[in-house]
Amino acid sequence: MTVPAAARPGAPQFEPPQHLDGLVGTHVIYTYANGWQYELYVRNERACDYRIHHGLVGGRWVKNQDAHMTRIDDGTYKIDWHEPTGTCVSLLLDLPRRLVHGTIFFPQWIGGEGQHPERTICFQNDFVHDMRAFRDAGPAYPYVIIAEFARITYVEQCGRDNESVIDAAPGQLPPGYTDRTN
C-alpha cells in the first residue's frame, strides 16, 4: 500500500493556509471578454449570491448558493458550485490583479443549440423545484463548456451575510448600476 505524500512525515505541504478573510464579504462586478457581465457577493465561507446582467442567462439571480472556496495565494481564491439546473461553475478570482477566470459547464438543455436557457432566467430560490425538473428532463450531455477571462470593474467589502448586497433582480436596479468602477 502506498501512503499519500501528504501523509508521510516530512513531506512538503502543498495546500496553503485556508484563511478566507480576504474573500468573505467581497462584492464584485466583472465582465468577461465575450461581453457577459456578472456580479458576485461572497456571503460567508460556504455560500455566495450572484446576478447575471448580460449573457446567455442574463436576468438570472440567486441567493445562498452553496459553494466550495479555496485560498490559492494572497488575494487569489477559487470558488466552485453546482446549481440545481445542472450547471457547474468554477471561478478563479485574483483580487489584486482584478482578474477572474471563469469556467461554466452548461448542461445541453441550457447551453445547447435550440435549447432553453430562458427557463433559468428568474430568481432561482423561488423556482428550485422547477430547475431540478428541467435538469432531470435534460438533456445534460454533452455539456457546453465556456471558459473566459473577465476584468473586475467594481469591488467593495460589504461584510459577512449582508442581505442587502444582492436583493433584487438585475432589471430592478437603478440605471448605471453595473457601469460603476473603482
- Assess whether the previous peptide bond of 107 is cis (omega < 30° from 0): no
- Spot the catalytic one: 30, 41, 50, 83: 83
In the residue annotation, 118 being an active-site residue is answered as no
177 annotated active-site: no
Cell of 139: 438533456
- Taking the C-alpha atoms of residue 182 and residue 180, their distance in angstroms, rounded to an integer, is 7
Q: Which of 42, 94, 58, 34 is nearest to 178 (CA)?
A: 58
* DSSP 8-state assignment for residue 123: B
Alpha-carbon radius of gyration of the chain: 18
Q: What is the CA angle 40-66-34, rounded to 5?
A: 35
Of 30, 38, 50, 77, which is the active-site residue? 38
DSSP 8-state class, residue 8: S
- Residues marked active site are found at 38, 83
